Structure 1
Amino acid sequence: MQNDLDTKFELLRMNAEHFAYDLGKSVIIKPKASIWIIFMPIFFVFYAQKLQKYKKDIQDFARGYQFTKTLALGAAREEKITGEPAEIFFADPPKEVGTPEIWEVVRAVQREEVDILRRHYLKLMDKDGETHADLVRAAYTTAGAYRSFLNRLHKAEEAVNEAVLTHLQTTPEARATTKAIEKRAEEMRLQEMDTIFS
């Protein structure tokens, strides 16, 4: 039983990681190689540095994007092991960003997102399957049922983003970037849904 749970946990963790990484690759602009690299190889050094930064930015983005997903997956796993709902603990926010009151607002909507994801992961962990797609098909049975979950998740993520945009990252650039990320994440999830249920 524990091995089965560990296998499913790892499968779901890897799927979430791949999704976050692929999302990062699709929203972070990759530096383009210059024709000058051919004529002046020293420019390759600058390009290589930019490429390294790009890769690090994707990894940082993926880690940040997965924050609530990781909490939810861990909580679902703990609940499956103990039979009791897991308590969700958020790390202390950086003191230089926001106030405790602002972070309480953000954490409240993050808790809602984590709860939606926790229930989703529990549902998947209750099913049998060799792949993420197998688990989703077994848990939701129809594209419409899965789409309903995706809509709830999208609304929860929007609520978290809106809290952050309202209280912490208030620039127009932050809002535009966040909306682009939300749009791309939704597109990717719908593509995945179509693949799973085709």
Structure 2
Amino acid sequence: MTRMTETETLNRNRDLILAQERRFAARVSARVIDKPKLAIWMILIPVFFVFYFWQLKRYSDGRKTFAANFVITRQRSLDQALAAVGSGEGPDVETVVNAADIPDPIRPDYRRWVAVLVDHYRDLLLAHGKSYTALIRDTYKNRTNYLLFLNRLNQVEREFDAALKPHVAETTENANGIIKLMEESAIAIRRQIADEIFP
């Protein structure tokens, strides 16, 4: 059996991390986007049954779009962490920040969030393990350390969200409620993941 090269190991770890981020995004989207309900009477009236399936497709497409957008900053941060590990230099957080189309006043909060993500991903990329769970265990060693990281991540995300709210409130109905639901969902799902990794 041949050993993986360092590049192969880094790429495998990147794929494991990205797959986990996509699963996380899908779980958050399931909590944030309401699934249409099928009433028994809809089955009896074909036009309503067709309408239900149209709504179901919109729901499915909406979840996919939400999840894809939810992962953009995370994927850019992961790519930057991989580039930093590969070059042996510090990560260029500004590259990720400058790629985002966000108002200038919230860039400092966004930069802090990205910096936390990049550091986390860099540590996971350098960890040993053949699964995401193994990478987390190797990086954080125990539940307490992992929960401390999650608390820090939740905090910088809340600060970024708070800075973002005034800018999205003008264009998005119930922006505060949506952001709050996203925050609560992310925190709850991260806690579940921590419980699964460190039972």
* Residue 141 (1) aligns with residue 141 (2): yes
- 8 Å CA contact 2:91–2:118 kept in 1: the answer is no
State the shift of 1:107 in Å.
Answer: 2.2
- 8 Å CA contact 2:128–2:134 kept in 1: the answer is yes
* Residue 68 (1) aligns with residue 73 (2): yes
Partner of 1:118: 118
- 8 Å CA contact 2:29–2:66 kept in 1: the answer is yes
> Which of the numbers 99, 102, 108 marks the counterpart of 1:91?
99
The alignment of Structure 1 onto Structure 2 pairs a total of residues equal to 190
Q: CA RMSD in A?
A: 1.7
* Residue 53 (1) aligns with residue 58 (2): yes
Corresponding letter in the other structure for 1:130 = K
Cα gap change, 1:167/1:42 in structure 2, threshold over 3 Å: closer, same or farther? closer
Taking only the aligned residue pairs, the percentage that are identical comes to 31
* Residue 32 (1) aligns with residue 37 (2): yes
TM-score (norm. length: structure 2):
0.89
* Residue 4 (1) aligns with residue 5 (2): no
* Residue 106 (1) aligns with residue 116 (2): no
TM-score (norm. length: structure 1):
0.89
Corresponding letter in the other structure for 1:21 = A
Partner of 2:153: 153
Corresponding letter in the other structure for 1:91 = A
Corresponding letter in the other structure for 1:82 = S
State the shift of 1:178 in Å.
Answer: 0.9
Q: Aligned partners of 1:130 and 1:19: how far apart in 2?
A: 19
Q: Aligned partners of 2:106 and 2:131: how far apart in 1?
A: 33
Structure 2 unaligned residues grouped into runs of 5+: 1-5
- 8 Å CA contact 1:128–1:134 kept in 2: the answer is yes
Greater mean alpha carbon deviation, residues 186-195 or residues 61-70: 61-70
State the shift of 1:56 in Å.
Answer: 1.4
State the shift of 1:67 in Å.
Answer: 2.5
State the shift of 1:172 in Å.
Answer: 7.7
Q: Aligned partners of 1:182 and 1:81: how far apart in 2?
A: 33
Q: Aligned partners of 2:111 and 2:184: how far apart in 1?
A: 22
Q: Secondary structure at the match of 2:103?
A: helix
Per-residue deviation, residues 19-55 of structure 1 (Å, max 9, x unmatched): 0011101221100112233212222221111011101
- 8 Å CA contact 1:79–1:85 kept in 2: the answer is yes
